[in-house]
Amino acid sequence: MKKWLTLLSLSMIVLFSSLFVNVSDTSAAANKTRLIAEAKKLIGTPYRYGGTTPKGFDCSGFVYYTHKKVGVTLPRSSKEMYKKGKYVHKSNLKPGDLVFFNTSKRTKGVSHVAIYIGNNRVIHAVSRGVKIDNLNSSYWKTKYVGAKRL
């Protein structure tokens, strides 16, 4: 009888605690899926310096806009965005993480931001408009600074 009660108690604890973990994980994953879906709707949108709308985006305007669409408020610049969230090693990236680059020869630190969408790919606003690129391309690989998870 004691073994049965102990087993039942342990089972209930595991079940009860897993409900909370799975709910938050599922909710976060759903939000990231929505974020990426919103971002993909904007593929082909033209680049516009300072742009924050579907009429035209710069990199941080694109990230700012897509996050706002799913209820997440971020700072407006890539440098300020880099101060948010928790650092993530490149090998542990998950869809929805923010990925930062330095594309400027004149300044140090962060000058570009993108959204990681999985399989070593990012979606971002560049001079050719909103598009998907590979993190391992010869250009982006050399510009990588770091990543953050919100």
> What domains appear along the chain, each with residue ranges and CATH number?
2-149 (3.90.1720.10)
Q: What is the Cα–Cα distance from 135 to 10, expressed in whole angstroms?
A: 45
Active site residues: 59, 112, 124
Residue range 5-17, pLDDT digits in tens: 343 343 444 434 4
pTM as predicted: 0.82
Q: Which residues of 93-109 are buried (b: 16+ CB within 10 A; e: fewer)?
A: beebbbbbbbbeeeeee
What is the pLDDT at residue 26? 64
Q: Summarize pLDDT for 98-137 with one digit per residue, the tens.
A: 999 999 988 889 999 999 999 999 999 999 999 999 999 9
pLDDT at 23 exceeding the cut of 80: no
Per-residue pLDDT tens over the stretch 35-64? 999 999 999 999 999 999 999 999 999 999
